[in-house]
């Protein structure tokens, strides 16, 4: 679930970086990233604790059912579509609540 959350975060950050006209491949901390998104990974670092907190709080408060997951023939465990949608909403909400004070303080 945490890996899926990081993928959501990475997608949102990459989309915003490209929308702002910035080069996602020029990173400082992640300059040798094989995917070429070093800058995106750099910008994700301060947001990881926000995502981690929301996922850990959800895991602590939620009683999981086997139907929340599916196991593929190769043994890989995947979230079912409803659980995946819930995680997307959870990550989006946590990022929105984190960013809101930042944009409000700048008078936006």
Pick the CATH number of 2-105 from 1.20.120.920, 3.30.565.10, 3.30.2020.30, 3.30.9.10: 1.20.120.920
Of 14, 12, 36, 16, the closest CA to residue 25 belongs to 36
Which of 7-21 are b and which e, b meaning 16 or more Cβ less than 10 Å from the residue's Cβ?
ebbbebbbeebeeee
* Residue 36 pLDDT exceeds 80: no
Q: Kindly state the average pLDDT of the residues 19-38.
A: 83
The pTM for the full model equals 0.82
Model pLDDT for residues 37-89, shown as the tens digit of each residue: 899 999 999 999 999 999 999 999 999 999 999 999 999 999 999 999 999 99
Structural contact between residues 17 and 40, judged by C-beta atoms closer than 8 angstroms? yes
Any bridge partners for residue 77, and if so which? 71
Long-range own/partner contacts, residues 103-108 (CB < 8 A, 24 or more apart): none
Q: Residue ranges of the domains in the chain?
A: 2-105
Percent of the chain residues topping a pLDDT of 70: 89
Please compute the mean of the pLDDT values over residues 82-97 and round it to a whole number: 92
Note the pLDDT of residue 29. Answer: 85
Q: Cα separation of 43 and 25, whole Å?
A: 12
Mean pLDDT to the nearest integer, 17-29: 89
């Amino acid at each position: 679930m945490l890996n899926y959350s990081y993928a959501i975060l990475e997608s949102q950050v990459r989309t915003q970086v490209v929308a702002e006209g910035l080069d996602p491949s020029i990173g400082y901390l992640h300059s040798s990233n094989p995917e070429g998104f070093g800058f995106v990974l750099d910008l994700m670092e301060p947001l990881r604790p926000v995502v981690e907190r929301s996922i850990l709080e959800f895991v602590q408060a939620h009683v999981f059912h086997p139907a929340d997951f599916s196991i593929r023939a190769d043994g890989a465990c995947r979230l079912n579509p409803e659980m995946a949608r819930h995680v997307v909403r959870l990550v989006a909400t946590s990022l929105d609540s984190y960013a809101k004070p930042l944009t409000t303080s700048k008078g936006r």
